[in-house]
Chains A and B, each alone.
Chain A
Amino acid sequence: MNIFKKDKRKEIKNESPLEIKRSNISTTTSSNKSSVKLRVFRINAVQNPNDVPHFDEFHVPVKRWTTVLDALLDAKSYQDSSIGIRYSCRMASCGSCGMKINGIPRLACYTKISDLDTNTITCEPLPNFPYIRDLVTDFSQFFNHHRSVMPFIQNKKADIPDVNELSEYEQSPQDLDKFLQFSYCIKCGLCYSACPTVATDLKFPGPQALSQAYRYFADSRDSDKSNRLKVIDTSHGIWRCHFAGSCSNVCPKGVDPALGIQLLRSHLLGISNSEKKIAKLQDRSLNSYREEEEEKEKEKEEEKE
C-alpha cells in the first residue's frame, strides 16, 4: 500500500475523527515503512577545485511525515557519513538547510517526501551560490549584497548615548504592519536561487537584499530615506527586477519579496506618497510618565472649568 498517494490523504480527511485517529496510528508504525531513492549531488570544490560533480544514490526508508532533511540525515548516518549538509533548527526557522529539491529551491526540513509525490528525490546545492561541498554552498556574495543595502535602523535623533534609557519609538500596529512581514526573512537564500536576474547578474543584490531595503525604508523608525534609495537606484539595482515572481513563490516564510520590491519601486517612481511619518522618540522614564499624568489631569481640570 502506497501511503503517499494524495488520494489516500483525501480519504482520511473525509473520515470521522475516531477513524482518522485509528488510521493515523496504523500509518506511523514501522511496519508501514516505504523507501525512496535519494540522489545527492556530490562535489568537493574547496579541497579539489577540479572535482567533477556527480550524483550518489541512496535508498532510504521513509514514513508518512519524513522530510527530505530526515532522509538525508538517514543516508548520512547509515550509508555515507561524508555527505556535506548544512542544517540547524529542523523547523524552518534558521534557513540553513536550503537546497534544490527536484528542481525547485526549498528548505529540506520543511519539505515532506510525501508532498513531492515521487519515489526519486534529487537533492542539489542551491543554484547561484558557489559550491563548497556537496549540498553546502557559500553565502558570502549573498551576505555582501545584504550588507550593501544598510540593513539597520538609521535615525539621527537616536544617538544612543544621549537618549534616555527608557525611551522608545512610538510605533502603532498599523505602522508595524507596513514592514513586519519583510522582517520575517530568515536569509535562507531560496529567493536568491530562484531569481532569473541573479542567474546572470553578479551585481544584482537579489530579492532578499531588496526586500530588506524596503523593510527598513518602510519602518517608521528609520529616517534615512534618500541614501537608501540612492544605493538601489543603479543600473544593477532594483530596476533589474522584472517581477518574475519566483522569489515569492519559493519563500517559505511568506515574506513575499516581490511585493516589497514593487512597493519600493513605486516610491522611486514617485507614485507612492513619499511623505513618511517618522516615529516619535518618547521618553518613557518614570519622571516623564508622571509629567504626562500631571498634564492630563491639568487638561481635565481645565475642561471641567
Chain B
Amino acid sequence: MTNSDHIRDEELELYALGGMPELEAEALKAHVAVCGECAMKLAESRGSAALLSFAVKQEHPAGTIKAELLSRIHANRAHEEDYAWPVPAPERPETGGLRVGKSARNKTSPWWNWIVVPAALLLALVSLALSYQNHKVSQALEKQRQAAQALLQEREKTEKLVGILAAADTVTVRLAPAAEAAGSGVVRYNARLGMLVYSALLPEVPAGKSYQMWLVPTVGSPINAGLLEKDARASTSVWLAQVPANTDAKAFAITVEPTGGSSQPTGPKVLIGAT
C-alpha cells in the first residue's frame, strides 16, 4: 500500500470513495492519523469524491425542514439556557466534522449527571450499610428472642417444680442402687398433677447409652418419664417429667438404654425405689 513511507494516491482515492476492505481501511486510517501529508491528500481525495454530489438529480427539500431545524435549535437553546452548563449530549451519534479533534468527540454529559451519579452511588452505599445493619439487628433480635424463650421455659419449669414440691399430696421416693450399680437419687411425684421431679447422682453414662427414668405403675407396663440428659441451662441436674395424671405408681427406676431412649426398659436397672 505504501510508497516511500506514504500511501499511494490511488489507495487514498479508493478509500475516499468507500468500499475498501475493512483491514486495508484500518491500516490506511492508522497511517493517515500520524501522517500529515497523507491526511492532506486524503482530504483532497474526499473533495474529489464529494464532486459526485453534483452529478445527482438536484432536488430541494420541503420548506418545512428548515423550520423544523430552527425549531430544534430553539428547543436546544431553551434547554441550554435552563441548564446553562455544560452542553447537553447530542441526540444522535455524531461521526465528526472537519477534524474536530478529540475534545469534540468526547460526549458531554448532562449537568445533572454530576449530581445524580454521585447521589446514586451514595444512595447505594447507604442502602448497603443499612442492609448490613438490618441484618445484624435481626440476628441480635433473634438471639434475644431465643434467650427470652429459654428464660420463659426455665420459669415455667421452676414454677412447676415449686408447685410439685409445695403440694401436700406429693410423695418422695428415694432411689437406691440396683445390684452391682452405684449412685443415688430422689423422686418427688404428684399423681394428681401427673408430674414428677427427680435428681440423681450416677456414674458417667457409657458411650452410646442414655439413662432413662421409668414410672412403674401398679397396673400395666412401665411409663417413660424422660431421659437424664444434662441441661446446660439448669444450675442443678433436676429433671421434670409429665406422665398421665392419676397414675398410681408402685416404683420408679432408672435403666441404661440406647442413646435417645426406649419405649420400654431394655437395659439393666441402675437405681430403683418403691413408693
Is this pair of chains taken from one and the same complex?
no
